[in-house]
Structure 1
Amino acid sequence: MHDALFSLFFMTLLLFGSPGPAPISLLASGANFGYRRNLPFLTGILIGLSLAMVLVNVGLAQLIETSPQFASGLSILCVGYLVYLAYKLYVQDTHNRSNDKLPGFTQGVLLNLINPKAYASLITLFSQFSIGSAPLFNPLLFTGLICISLVAIIDALWLLAGAKLGKVFRSRQHIKRLNGVCSLAILLVASVLISH
């Protein structure tokens, strides 16, 4: 059990700690708006990931495998959203830090609910790990709880890193450059995802 837990921790760190749409968005939004103002966005991202976990475990992975048309359509939808997200980040007015520019809970839910990297990571985790053997506790639920707990810490650290960068980069010109780099990173992730 300890070996399986360690492997799950390590795989979760690798799959969800690496730059993807959610961490990059948290980094950029943290730099633009600070830590506390982004807590609804972070919460939405975690709820979206939880919903994605449910979808993966009720058969989305099997549907993707058996229906190439559905998989292609889903990929196009996901990549389209990532391109839109990169565009919005790139054209964001760094001088206007009002709440109407701040990503909120709903954007966070959508980000992970149609995030192809999240689905690929979840399919990998749930196909490899099912932690727990107690008859009263569902192994999938236990694995999911461990995963979401670790992702909450990882994403909070990405948001904190962004907030710290926002304080270091006092000039809005620096924040604009960071937004540009984050936009390019999201587009890179999208291009890798569409090529698979």
Structure 2
Amino acid sequence: MTPDLLTALTTFAFVTVMTPGPNNLMLMASGTNFGFSRSIPHMLGIGLGFPLMVACVGLGVMQVFDLWPLSYTVLKIGSVTYLLYLAWKIANAAPPRDAESSGKPLTFLQSAAFQWVNPKAWSMALSAITLYATGRDLVSVLWVAGVYIVMSGVSTTSWTLLGQQLRRMLRNQARLRAFNWFMAALLIATLIPVLWPL
């Protein structure tokens, strides 16, 4: 991979992982409700699960949609259903003190598996492979996945820390409930491009 192409890929990866989407909104909510250290498995699930998904997409998963167009509809229905469920969980999250004992952030495996039903993750993976691993050769695909490992580390840490900082401002239970409902509404809003594409 040439230095110019690597710079372009790094910039693309940084912008796509830092912008709000289901992963980042859920990490911010997790940081707020559970704190940074309890959110680390969630962060690692995204930070390693998404690059793995990128690699799988680059090595052939994209062809499933070409061979079985119905699989795209099934994925879309599954994605919408799961995101609505996660929005409900965020909206009804317990206050931090109660969450310490009763609530649980997403685990490593849950957040890694979530990438496969995350509409933004699919869009990012397909775009990154199409633009930066045009030959679909193993080396190019691994470069794209490797850059996403680094950029995902920056993004997951930043959004979780933001949530943790908000936790201090949301000690009031009514404010925290309003925040959680707002995060749930934003998560649902991420479905708009999926349900009504331009």
The aligned counterpart of 1:123 is 126
- How many residues are paired up? 192
What is the Cα-based RMSD across aligned positions, in Å? 2.0
CA contact (8 A) 1:38 1:102 kept: no
* Residue type at the aligned position of 1:125: A
The aligned counterpart of 1:48 is 49
Other structure's SS at 2:98 match? coil
The aligned counterpart of 2:104 is 102
The aligned counterpart of 2:10 is 9
CA contact (8 A) 1:12 1:150 kept: yes
CA contact (8 A) 2:55 2:141 kept: no
1:44-84 C-alpha deviation (Å, 9 max, x unpaired): 12232133123312322222234221100011101111111
Any stretches of 5+ residues in structure 2 without a counterpart? none
State, as a whole percentage, how many aligned pairs show the same letter. 25
Other structure's SS at 2:99 match? coil
1:123-181 C-alpha deviation (Å, 9 max, x unpaired): 101111139xxxxx822212211122111111110001110111122212222111111
Other structure's SS at 1:138 match? helix
Taking the TM superposition and a 5 Å limit, the aligned residue runs for 1:3-42 are: 3-42=4-43
* Residue type at the aligned position of 2:156: D
Say yes or no: does 1:112 pair with 2:77: no
CA contact (8 A) 2:13 2:147 kept: no
* Residue type at the aligned position of 1:56: V
Instruction: Please give the alpha-carbon distance, in whole angstroms, between the structure 1 residues aligned to 2:127 and 2:159.
Output: 22
Decide whether aligned partners of structure 1 residues 185 and 105 sit closer, same or farther in structure 2, where only a CA change above 3 A counts: same
The aligned counterpart of 2:146 is 145
CA contact (8 A) 1:51 1:113 kept: no
Other structure's SS at 2:133 match? coil
- TM superposition score normalised by structure 2: 0.88
Which moved further from structure 2: 65-74 or 85-94? 65-74
The aligned counterpart of 1:134 is none
CA contact (8 A) 2:59 2:141 kept: no
- TM superposition score normalised by structure 1: 0.89
